[in-house]
Amino acid sequence: TGLASIGLPASVLKNPGTTCPNPTDGNGLHNPPYASAAYPPTANQPWLYICYNNTAGLDFSSPATNQGQLDLNVIVLYTYGPLTPLVRSQFGVFQVAANNSPQLTVVYATKDLGPRVPISADGLATKQISVPTGYPKVYFTNVADVQGMVPLVTISSGQAITSNDVSKANQALGSQSEFLQIPHGYVAMTIPTSEQVGVADYIQPGDYISVIATVSSAGRVATKTIFTQLHVIKVGTQSATSGASATSLIIVVTQCQAEVITWFQNNASLKYTLESYRDYAPGDQAPDPNCPTVGDAHGVTLQFIKTSFPGLF
């Protein structure tokens, strides 16, 4: 009806066959200018191209599936012939191109992005796609806005990223939350805390703590620092509105250290000290040569504790 309203006949669909007219300037979005062969030889006869995902030759004989968020260009080309023979003889005909959707620069994935893994800058770039006027503002236009976010679903290479696909790392919950930043060869472990045990809630993610154990045995009480430089990566339940203290800390340890801490949790009382940020020594995060893998932990006995921590018993 739109073509008829301006005195033009119905367009001729060029699909299948040539789905995306070939641009003469080599642009990958199949925008003008086009070669003369892409235009109809007959004046005032529109040709219609439906170009899927900027991929020449891609066409569908039945309703397509799995094409969400891919680029779709509907391109109308026609050769305009002046109405009077005199003008036509002097100037010939004019080739006109119309693309129904404006172009928008969007952020897309340059490689497959898996869920729960924060997105790095090397997996992102920008490109232009056709976005219908009035389409919801779900696309990102700046790489920096997406970097560090967490995919909620698998994002395929080449796919434009929308606000429905990603979440800020601290906002994704449950099975969609980001992976904990645990170095190779280490594990994450939860230890209980409280205001008195955990430095009055001053321990925060990124801090390093030391652990002190107090053991009572055969009428003797002894206290000893059993670990230092334990990295805290998360702080458990804590309510700023109610004033409640945090109830747990998540620390990074080897599996061997986890066994020792578990033994002391069951047989001693523990207290934490917060180390000065000036003394933090993260190291290179390489596997501990004394316990490089989870399989190198072989259990803890009282004799092992006595040997490893002399003076406690």
Averages of pLDDT over runs of 10 residues in the chain (313 residues) are: 65 78 77 82 80 77 68 75 46 49 84 88 89 79 92 89 85 64 89 90 91 90 93 76 78 94 95 91 78 92 92 81
Q: Tell me what pLDDT residue 241 has.
A: 55
Regarding pTM above 0.85, the answer is no
> What is the DSSP-derived secondary structure letter of residue 102?
-
Six token digits for residue 89: 């003889």
Counting every residue, how long is the chain?
Answer: 313
Instruction: Tell me if 181 is assigned to some domain.
Output: no
Q: CA–CA separation, 210 vs 155, rounded Å?
A: 41
Residue 245's pLDDT is what? 78
Pairing of strands 12-13, 47-52: parallel
Identify whether 63 is part of a domain: yes
CATH number of the domain enclosing 150? 3.90.1210.10
> Are 70 and 120 part of one and the same domain?
no
Choosing from 145, 176, 207, the residue where a domain stops is: 176
In a domain, 209, yes or no: yes
Measured CA to CA, the distance from residue 76 to residue 283 in angstroms comes to 62
Range of the domain at 281: 187-308
**Contacts with 283 (C-beta within 8 Å, 6 or more apart), sequence order:** none
Cβ-Cβ contacts under 8 Å for 91 (sequence gap 6 or more)? 82
Domain C-terminal end among 67, 100, 133: 100
153 occurs within a structural domain:
yes
Question: Dmax of the chain from CA atoms?
Answer: 118
| Domain identity same for 229 and 294 | yes
32 and 81 housed in the same domain: yes
Spatial distance between the Cα atoms of 114 and 188, rounded to a whole number of angstroms: 21
Count up the domains in the chain and report the number: 3
With respect to residue 182, please indicate whether it lies within any of the assigned structural domains.
no
Pair 122, 171 in one domain = yes
Cα–Cα distance between 294 and 257 in angstroms, integer?
10
